[in-house]
Amino acid sequence: MNNSLLKEFNIEDVKETKIINDYDIIKDKELLDELRKKIIENIIDNKKGPNETQEDFINNIIDKTIEGRDLTNLERSHIYNMIDNEINGYGPLNELLNDDNISEIMVNSPNEVYVEIDGKIIRDETVSFINDEHILRIITRMVGPLGKTIDSSNPMVDSRLSDGSRINAIIPPLSINGPVLTIRKFKRNLSSIDDLLRNGTLTRDMAEFLESSIKSKLNIIVCGGTGSGKTTILNILSSFIGEDERIITIEDAAELKLSQKHVIPLETRGSNYKSDGEVTMRDLVRNSLRMRPDRIIVGEVRGSEAFDMLQAMNTGHEGSLTTLHANGAIDALNRLETMVLMGSMEIPVPAIRDYIKNALDIVIVCERLTDGRRKITSINEITGIDNNGEIKLSEIYKFKQTGLTKNNEVIGEFMMLNKNPKVYEKMKNRGYDLTKNNKKK
């Protein structure tokens, strides 16, 4: 327990870390929540005396609030810990942020908090806020140190915590029923290709193919729906980039955690209250071309920066990587085409498609299955333009679902559909000959 403001509270025979996580053994949870609310309200409503330290002020309020209550030592310690979280941490969210099993936190209202565990969304009945103002204070505490503000004139913010967890908050007047906070936690336990293999996200052959693709400097898009694991895949694929390469990463909110030493992370900036000072993804992509990059990684392409990214891929910046929100490989290419058109580029559609065909090599599709597990369900190569002027795709690997277990877990298998893809030639020129492996099968 961080006691920079609170006095030490000793509990015999109980480890401090155990106290923080043992909410389940507290007898009267409703009473503790009621006391927490009263303490916070008293701290807000009262003023510190002229000769009173902040620590004494807070401790005196706690002591007065719980005076006469028949509380065990564990319950008293739990109250001090909850108030410490309010003052030095993120209040009711502290325990959720520290729980590695939780991948997403969703605060819909003071008494409506949901979490995602193993791909399933459940309501957490143990976590609550006092009121909307309490939620707003926690949001402000999260985004303030990051140089972001949220108020009625700027009622929406997208940022990230120091550990890479992404924060999205929206408040009235945009959110009708009060502040809404969503936190997508940075997954510490998925950091290597071996982690993906253990999770069944892909096969050993697929992993070798993707590693060779990165080392051969193929240009790759990772696509999928919300929560399908695109950023995790991008992070892990980036680990195959050589230590001697200069990598520029470009994101709206920095989530990528690259292990290489020569990484230059860039992050967009929103406009200020005067509606100026904005720096967009497109600005950063254009600027990155002047920074002598060996690799450019765009966290997620969403708009007019798509053309600049394709231009970079077409002008010698090989091995570029990005993600894109789409439900399949064809959908990803269609969205990319639309983004270029929306960027006010007066380029005919056939020319755009030819540009995409020359720029991209591989499209990876990620999916969160109905049982919550995430898999790479398709790996495709771009092979040319067909007679109708459409971009041609050839599927190399595919996950085929064959059924469900009694527990509704997905049953399926990975298949290699194309044992001699065209990209093998590019890989071979870079010293990676995968055709030998396929001949053995």
167 strand-pairing partners: 159, 183
Percentage of residues of the chain with pLDDT beyond 70 = 87
Answer yes or no: do 424 and 279 share one domain. yes
Query: Highest mean pLDDT: which of 47-56, 266-275, 376-385?
Result: 376-385
Same domain, 133 and 238: no
Given a cut of 80, is residue 361 above it in pLDDT?
yes
Is the confidence at residue 223, as pLDDT, over 60? Answer: yes
Residue with the two structure tokens 């298949």: 415
Residue 262 has pLDDT above 90, yes or no: yes
Q: How far apart are CA 252 and CA 243, in angstroms?
A: 25
Q: Identify the pLDDT of residue 353.
A: 93
Q: Which of 237, 198, 226, 253 is nearest to 119 (CA)?
A: 226
Q: Are residues 245 and 339 in the same domain?
A: yes
> Taking residues 337-347, what's their average pLDDT?
82
**Sheet arrangement for strand 166-170:** 120-123, 112-117, 102-109, 180-184, 166-170, 156-160
Predicted confidence at residue 49, as pLDDT, reads 73
pLDDT at 440: 44
Give the CA angle between residues 117, 99, 81 to the nearest 5°.
135
Q: What is the 3-state secondary structure (H, E, C) of 322-345?
A: EEEECCCHHHHHHHHHHHHHHCCC
47: helix, strand or coil: coil
Residue 197 has φ and ψ, to the nearest 5°, of: -65, -45
Per-residue pLDDT, 414: 96
Instruction: Give the position of tokens 């892909």.
Output: 202
Residues constituting the chain: 441
**Angle value at C-alpha 423, between 422 and 425, nearest 5 degrees:** 80
Burial of 399 (0-12, 13-18, 19+ CB in 10 A): buried
Q: What is the mean pLDDT of the chain?
A: 83
**Per residue in 143-177, pLDDT tens?**
888 778 898 888 999 887 877 788 999 999 999 99
Same domain, 267 and 406: yes
**Partners of residue 400 on adjacent β-strands:** 413
Tell me if residue 121 falls in helix, strand or coil: strand
List of E strands, 173-260:
180-184, 220-224, 247-251
**Res 28: pLDDT:** 58
Q: Which of 170, 186, 202 is the last residue of a domain?
A: 186
Please say whether the beta carbons of 322 and 298 come within 8 A: yes
Mean pLDDT of 103-115: 94
Q: Is the pLDDT of residue 320 over 60?
A: yes
| CATH code where residue 124 lies | 3.30.450.90
Last residue of a domain, one of 88, 122, 139: 88
User: Which helix (H) or strand (E) element contains residue 283?
Assistant: helix 281-288
pLDDT at 402 over 80: yes
Higher local confidence (pLDDT), 31 or 381: 381
Does one domain contain both 280 and 417? yes
The average pLDDT across 235-254 equals 91
Do 255 and 381 have their domain in common?
yes
Asked whether the bond before 173 is cis by omega within 30 degrees of 0, the reply is: yes
Cα–Cα distance measured from residue 89 to residue 83, given in angstroms and rounded to the nearest whole number: 9
18 against 54, higher pLDDT: 54
Q: Are residues 435 and 387 in the same domain?
A: yes
List of residues 6+ apart from 339 with CB closer than 8 A: 301, 302, 303, 304, 306, 307
Last residue of a domain, one of 165, 186, 207: 186
Sequence-distant (≥ 6) Cβ neighbours of residue 122 within 8 angstroms: 114, 115, 116
Average pLDDT over residues 317-333: 94
More confident residue, 263 or 40: 263
Boundaries of domain holding 374: 193-439
From first CA to last CA, the distance across the chain in angstroms is 57
Are 400 and 268 contained in the same domain? yes
* DSSP output for 251-278: ESS-------SSEEEEE-B---TTS---
Rg (CA), the chain: 26
Q: Are residues 1 and 123 in the same domain?
A: no
pLDDT value at position 224?
A: 94
Question: Are 55 and 1 in a shared domain?
Answer: yes
**Overall number of domains in the chain:** 3
- Residue 3 has a pLDDT of 40
92-120 average pLDDT score: 90
Residues 155 and 111 in one domain: yes
Give the pLDDT confidence of 180-206 residue by residue, as tens digits: 999 988 765 557 899 999 989 999 999
Residue 87 burial (CB < 10 Å; 0-12/13-18/19+)? middle
Residue-level pLDDT at 21: 41
In this prediction, residue 363 has a pLDDT band, given cuts at 50, 70 and 90, of: very high
User: How many other CB atoms sit within 10 Å of the CB of residue 371?
Assistant: 15
DSSP single-letter state for residue 389: S
Q: How far is CA 206 from the centre of its chain?
A: 24
Name which of 8-22, 23-37, 274-288, 421-435 the model is least confident about.
Answer: 8-22
Position 8 pLDDT exceeds 60: no
Write out the two tokens for 121.
């969304």
Residues 239 and 284 in one domain: yes
CB 305 within 8 A of CB 298: yes
